[in-house]
Structure 1
Amino acid sequence: MKKWLAIVVLVVCIPVGWWLLSPLWINKEVNEELPTSTEQATAMEEKSEVIVEQPKVQEYTGMFVDGDKTHHAAGKAYTLTQDGKRFIRFEDFNTTNGPDLYVYMLDKSNEIAKGINLGKLKGNQGNQNYELPSNIDMEKYDKVIIWCKAFDVTFGTAELKEI
Structure 2
Amino acid sequence: MTTFRALERTGSFMGLRNYTVNGDFTLSENGDNLELTFSSNFQSSNGPGLFVYLSNNSTRVTGGIELGQLSANSGTQTYIISRQNAELDTYNHVIIYCKPFGVAFGTGEFDN
RMSD: 1.8
Identity of aligned residues (%): 33
Say whether residues 1:84 and 2:41 are aligned partners. no
The answer to which structure has the higher strand fraction is 2
Q: Which residue of 2 aligns with 1:44?
A: none
Q: Which residue of 2 aligns with 1:38?
A: none
SS of 2:54's partner is strand
Amino acid at match of 1:60: R
Give, in whole Å, the separation in 2 of the partners of 1:144 and 1:107.
9
SS of 2:82's partner is coil
Give, in whole Å, the separation in 2 of the partners of 1:108 and 1:133.
21
Relative contact order, higher structure (CA 8 A, sep 6+)? 2
The answer to which structure has the higher helix fraction is 1
Q: 8 Å contact 1:67–1:154 — kept in the other structure?
A: yes
Say whether residues 1:149 and 2:99 are aligned partners. yes
**Cα deviations across residues 130-160 of structure 1 (Å, max 9, x unaligned)?**
0123143333111000000011111111101
Q: Which residue of 1 aligns with 2:54?
A: 105
Gaps of 5+ in 1: 1-56
Using structure 2 for the length normalisation, give the TM-score.
Answer: 0.84
Using structure 1 for the length normalisation, give the TM-score.
Answer: 0.59
1:129 CA displacement: 0.2
Amino acid at match of 2:23: G
Gaps of 5+ in 2: 1-5
Say whether residues 1:139 and 2:89 are aligned partners. yes
Amino acid at match of 1:151: F
Q: Which residue of 1 aligns with 2:3?
A: none
Larger Rg: 1
Amino acid at match of 2:95: I
SS of 1:139's partner is helix
Residues matched between the structures, number: 105
Q: Which residue of 1 aligns with 2:45?
A: 96
Give, in whole Å, the separation in 2 of the partners of 1:115 and 1:81.
19
